[in-house]
Amino acid sequence: MADLDAFLRQDLAEAEARGLRRRSQVLDPLGGPRFQDGRQKLLSFSSNDYLGLARDPALQEALCAGARAFGTGSGAAHLLGGHRSAHAALERDLAAFTGREAALLFGNGYLANLGAITALLGRDDHIFADRLNHASLVDAALLSRARLQRYRHNDLQHLEALLQRTPARGRRLIVTDGVFSMDGDLAPLTALAELARRYDAWLMVDDAHGLGVLGSTGRGSLEAFSLSPQDVPVLMGTLGKAFGVYGAFVAGSQSLIDFLQQRARSYIYTTALPPALASATQAALLLVQQDHWRRQHLQTHIQRLRQGLKSLAWSLMPSDTPIQPLLVGEAEAALNLSQQLRQQGFYVPAVRPPTVPQGSARLRITLSALHQDQDVDALIAALQDCHHAS
Ligand code: PMP
């Protein structure tokens, strides 16, 4: 058998040679969307902190107060003594915010998807999933052992054909991202809800990138499409993106939440979130609801960026959300463009296979409510320079 290190080194070298080696960067916050890597100052267009809440003083205050009241860790799983009033209050608030009977906190979005899907579906059941769904939904489906059928991205005809072809035995779940994380486009939720009704399936939406951002009051993709809880009985939301903290939840009927509490293994067999994070998230929830200006800024920036990048060699993918990917094509070209921008003081990561399909490497530009008009203009100018130089 090959030596372990030799095997690992060879794998890494292959990724490197193909321009696919990924590396995390040390980026420390300077204020707003500005970060520092050693001595280089960078204007970032990479964060999912869309509303700019992650460094908000009100959240920091709530986090510190929470830590003083509850300590740094919960010390146990929810069902074994780790559940605090901060968790309970946040669950009530999230249920009210999403217009549902109840909500259940999970450690993060990955765990929430694993927990909900593996609890709801088993060996004799069927999962219909958009091909571009987040990796955690794919992993959840595989772990559930249900039959997984993936339909072409947002292709309702393909989905309907799969639904028709599938025997009526077993439970059926249609699951989709609300906003696709690497493309920024929306799922056709009204039509998906209609198909779910017609073909006797449950619909689950992962609204990691919609919640807080979409809809006039930030209630996410479902608000954008005016859908009711009956249309989408299982809603997953994350707390580490627009909410600026960490964690995730599933919201739904009281029975769904009671059931998940009994059956979702990634809820049961893991330490409860630090309660101070729940305190900080309650503060975030207030700002998400009050600060309409944050969503308005995002809208202005989206229009400004799309207008400014119209005549570039690379084109922005169709998207009305703060995720504005610039399609480049080959992995190395995307990496090269990202590096050129970095030399000019911008941090815009390249996203390459296997995160996105072969030949569709891109710069994942994300906008924040804390960007200024000048920041967006500076990125447009830098990309135009790269375009002329290439
Ligand atoms: N779903 C989607 C659509 C996501 O983009 C992400 C995070 N990238 C997750 C789930 C996982 O959420 P978390 O980061 O809280 O684990």
Per-residue model confidence (pLDDT) at position 23? 86
153 is in an annotated binding site: no
Q: List pLDDT tens digits, range 247-282.
A: 999 999 999 999 999 999 999 999 999 999 999 999
Q: Please answer whether residues 78 and 260 qualify as being in contact, where contact means their C-beta atoms are separated by less than 8 angstroms.
A: no
Ligand 1 pocket residue status of 181, Cβ below 6 Å: yes
**Main-chain dihedrals φ then ψ at residue 187, nearest 5 degrees:** -80, 145
Residues of the chain with CATH 3.90.1150.10: 21-51+292-389
181 is in an annotated binding site: yes
Ligand 1 pocket residue status of 35, Cβ below 6 Å: no
How would you list the strands of the sheet with 323-329, edge to edge?
315-316, 323-329, 361-366, 350-351
Q: How far apart are CA 366 and CA 318, in angstroms?
A: 14
Ligand 1 pocket residue status of 183, Cβ below 6 Å: no
Q: Nearest CA to 238 among 208, 276, 204?
A: 208
Ligand 1 pocket residue status of 233, Cβ below 6 Å: no
Residue 387 has pLDDT above 80, yes or no: no
Ligand 1 pocket residue status of 208, Cβ below 6 Å: yes
Structure tokens belonging to residue 148: 């997984």
Of 78, 87, 126, 209, catalytic: 209
- Hey, which bits of 142-292 come out as E strands? 147-151, 172-177, 202-206, 234-238, 248-252
What does the DSSP assignment read for 8-43?
HHHHHHHHHHTT--------EEEETTEEEETTEEEE
Residues of the chain with CATH 3.40.640.10: 57-290
**Ligand 1 geometric centre to CA of 235 (Å):** 13
**Ligand 1 geometric centre to CA of 208 (Å):** 6
Q: List pLDDT tens digits, range 111-148.
A: 999 999 999 999 999 999 999 999 999 999 999 999 99
**Ligand 1 geometric centre to CA of 15 (Å):** 24
Fold of the CATH domain 57-290 = Aspartate Aminotransferase; domain 2 (3.40.640)
Ligand 1 pocket residue status of 109, Cβ below 6 Å: yes
Which protein residue's CA is at the shortest distance from atom 14 of ligand 1?
A: 109
Q: Nearest CA to 377 among 364, 363, 367?
A: 367
244 is in an annotated binding site: no
Which secondary-structure segment (H or E) carries 57? Answer: helix 57-70
Q: How confident is the model at residue 390 (pLDDT cuts 50, 70, 90)?
A: low
Fold of the CATH domain 21-51+292-389 = Aspartate Aminotransferase, domain 1 (3.90.1150)
Ligand 1 pocket residue status of 130, Cβ below 6 Å: no
Q: List pLDDT tens digits, range 211-257.
A: 999 999 999 999 999 999 999 999 999 999 999 999 999 999 999 99
* 181 is an active site residue: yes
* 41 is an active site residue: no
User: Ligand 1 atom closest to Cα of 48?
Assistant: 8
Q: List pLDDT tens digits, range 358-385.
A: 999 999 999 999 999 999 999 999 999 8
Q: How far apart are CA 233 and CA 252, in angstroms?
A: 6
Q: How confident is the model at residue 25 (pLDDT cuts 50, 70, 90)?
A: confident
**Ligand 1 geometric centre to CA of 207 (Å):** 9
How many Cβ atoms sit within 10 Å of the Cβ of residue 380?
A: 17
Q: How confident is the model at residue 168 (pLDDT cuts 50, 70, 90)?
A: confident
Residue 388 has pLDDT above 80, yes or no: no
Q: Please answer whether residues 32 and 294 qualify as being in contact, where contact means their C-beta atoms are separated by less than 8 angstroms.
A: no
Q: List pLDDT tens digits, range 273-325.
A: 999 999 999 999 999 999 999 999 999 999 999 999 998 888 999 999 999 99
Of 126, 241, 297, 371, catalytic: 241
